[in-house]
Structure 1
Amino acid sequence: MKKIWAFASYNLWLQFAPPVGKEHLHCDMKRGFAKALQREPQIAALLATDSQPQKIGLLAQRGVYEFHQAPELLSRKDGAQQLAEMLKLNQQSAVVEERVKLILQNYQQHPILFGKNIIQLSRGDEGFPQAIIIKQGNYLFNFYAAIDCIFVESDGRLHILDFKTGKSDFDRRQAYLYLLAASYLYPSQSAIASFYNLETGKQSDPISATAGTLKAFQIELALIAQKHQKQLKLYRDNPADFSMIFPANPGFSCGYCSFNSICQFSSVSEVAA
């Protein structure tokens, strides 16, 4: 079978269209760095380095995973501390260590997966999930959905649970994409999805979707995959036009961008001043 280069994912969609209310923080050039210039040595080095929020999220996911690999830790008074040592949190920055320790303590007190019929639980470091090949009309593309956890409800429905950290709002688009993935991976089972913040304890209501809703999201993903591939080709054919194909949006968000050290449009110095 011919290799399929086009792809789509929630992460890619997020790089095209941020959540409602966050439009002013959006920057297409960030996507250009990450997707069009990812093989450049400087870019590759930055992409290989996890940001502080990424480290916290990955370690939090690993902590939940390890708690359920060794569930006896949940009932031990020093269970969270034992797990902190296993994860070598003392080798992280003070902020990462403190926040992940609190997450472990919170989860030990409120282990929302305890007693659940878990059929999939990610460690957080597995890399890209296996691609789901989707055909929309005559267009083929790979769909990637990195799912944190799936368990079976008492009524037989699959429940896809996505863990969050920090102060980010829940984006329902992500839930619908997980449900789309489930419709391919488990076509004979109905599913719901929800979010749970490991730091705040906030949980969303369960989200379900009709076949029509999932079809609409599949069509949107196909459009995103096509647009992304067209822009990558446009850049390959016209590398001097990088900043026009992937326009910058300098401002406050530059201070949190992984590429601010190499971006000529970064306003970090202006913000700091």
Structure 2
Amino acid sequence: MLTPDRPFASYHLWSLVAPATGQERWHCQMRRGFIKARQHDPQVKALLAKATAPQRIGILAQKGVYEFHHNRHLLHQADGVEKVAQLLKLSNSTDQVQQRVLRILKKYHDTPLLLDKQIIELTPGDEGFPKPILIDHEDFHFRLYAAMDCVFIESDRTLHILDFKTGKSAFDRRQALVYLLAARYLYPGREAVASFYNLELGKKSDLISINNGELKSLKFELANIAHKHQRDLQKYQEKTSNFSQIFPPNPGTHCRFCPFQSICDFSQQSTQSHPMPSLRTNA
């Protein structure tokens, strides 16, 4: 039986609990239930283990950037893209994944965003869960998880946290705020900004910063999310048959893009009652 750990928060959990602005109609709490409460069920575990094409593209694109900077000479070689593709074992992927990742690698090879940057952290994208940050306050405590793609130092000594995207991913400011909160603990005393960069489209976001007042509000927001989720897990542990009441579904045409539609009792793959949202890809 499921045993909830101490409360935790992350951008991923935040996005599962509360939708991004404009995505409210398609947000489904049952998806959180499958991912966070029933992740050890054999059927759910099997579905979670299957990376979709967009997920594969995001992971390989991030790893490609990592390989370019881990083997910096490849940025200056004519066959650098082919060499990185070999390191990624890209030939083992589907044609769709290969073609899109190759375009991303070529774009980055032509215009390497991080060239000459003082990089202090650059992850390959498949490193798993980061070490939790303990957030302690007189009114609450929780563990914060924040896996950052890249951290580098600007010429004015500002810490810059960069998150890579692929596909048609929306830039969700909440993710940047979580990173900026984490930076206060990981790099104390350093001024920090955060931004997003779409490797596929070559699109940059504006720089995002946070002041002390916003930081305080953010901690309360994440604490509420952490404790709400923990309460939901405890309710589910007490009575697993109440799954759909604890994690209520929101069926519609968007079910066709849900990884759990094959095992969900509420899936409506052919419902035509609502227009479809644009399909987003979050690496």
Q: Secondary structure at the match of 2:204?
A: coil
Residue deviations 1:48-67 (CA, integer Å, cap 9, x gap): 22122111111011000000
Partner of 2:172: 171
Task: State the Cα distance separating 1:137 from its structure 2 match.
Answer: 2.6
Give the percent of matched residue pairs that are identical in Structure 1 and Structure 2.
54
Q: Report if the CA contact (8 A) 2:253-2:271 is conserved.
A: no
Task: Describe how 1:196-215 pairs up with structure 2 within 5 A.
Answer: 196-215=197-216
CA contact (8 A) 2:255 2:261 kept: yes
**2: CA distance, partners of 1:92 / 1:166:** 17
Letter aligned with residue 145 of structure 2: Y
Partner of 2:97: 96
Distance in 1 (CA, whole Å) between partners of 2:104 and 2:201 is: 9
The residue number in structure 2 matching 1:132 is: 133
- Partner in structure 1 of residue 257 of structure 2: 256
SS of 1:268's equivalent in the other structure is coil
Kept in 1, the 8 Å contact 2:180–2:210? The answer is yes
Aligned residues of 1:136 and 1:218 also touching (Cα < 8 A) = no
Note the alpha carbon deviations across 1:227-257, whole angstroms, 9 max, x for none.
0000111111121111111111111221111
Separation of aligned partners in 1, 2:255 and 2:104: 28
* Secondary structure of the structure 2 residue equivalent to 1:192: strand
1:153 alignment counterpart: 154
One-letter amino acid matched to 1:210? N
Aligned to 1:19: 20
CA contact (8 A) 2:164 2:199 kept: yes
Q: Distance in 1 between matches of 2:130 and 2:181?
A: 15
CA–CA distance in 2 between the matches of 1:35 and 1:4?
Answer: 12
Match in the other structure for 1:189: 190
Q: Which has the higher contact order (CA 8 A, sep 6+)?
A: 2
Offset at residue 4 of structure 1 (A):
5.8
* Alignment match, 1:239: 240
Where 1:196 maps in the other structure, the secondary structure is strand
SS of corresponding position for 1:67: helix
Instruction: Return the alpha-carbon distance in structure 2 between the equivalents of residues 90 and 252 of structure 1.
Output: 34
Listed one character per residue, the Cα deviations across residues 65-100 of structure 1 (whole Å, up to 9, x for unaligned) are 000011111111121122112211111111111111
Uncovered stretches (5+) of structure 1, i.e. residues with no partner: none
TM-score, normalising length: structure 2: 0.92
CA distance in 2, matches of 1:64, 1:74: 10
Report what 1:65 is aligned to.
Answer: 66
- How many equivalent residue pairs? 269
Once the two structures are TM-superposed, the CA of residue 217 in structure 1 deviates from its matched residue by: 0.7
CA distance in 2, matches of 1:60, 1:253: 26
2:13 is paired with a residue of what secondary structure?
helix
Q: Where in structure 2 are the equivalents of 1:110-129 lying within 5 Å?
A: 110-129=111-130
Q: C-alpha offsets along residues 184-212 of structure 1, whole Å, 9 cap, x if unaligned?
A: 11111110000000000000111111011
- Deviation track 1:137-173 (CA, whole Å, cap 9, x = no partner) reads 3422110001000000111110000000011221111
What's the offset of the Cα at 1:37? Answer: 0.6
Q: Distance in 2 between matches of 1:4 and 1:22?
A: 29
Using the TM superposition, give the Cα deviation of residue 270 of structure 1 relative to its aligned residue in structure 2, in angstroms: 4.9
Partner residue of 1:87? 88
Give the corresponding residue for 2:278.
none
Does the 8 A contact of 2:253 with 2:270 survive in 1? Answer: no
| Alignment-mate amino acid for residue 6 of structure 1 | P
Whether the 8 Å contact between 1:4 and 1:140 is mirrored in structure 2 is: no
Aligned-residue CA RMSD in angstroms? Answer: 1.3
Q: Look up the SS of the partner of 2:215 in the other structure.
A: helix
* CA distance in structure 1 between the aligned counterparts of 2:101 and 2:87, rounded to whole angstroms: 12
Structure 2: how far apart are the matches of 1:252 and 1:190? 44
Q: Which moved more, 1:81-90 or 1:63-72?
A: 81-90
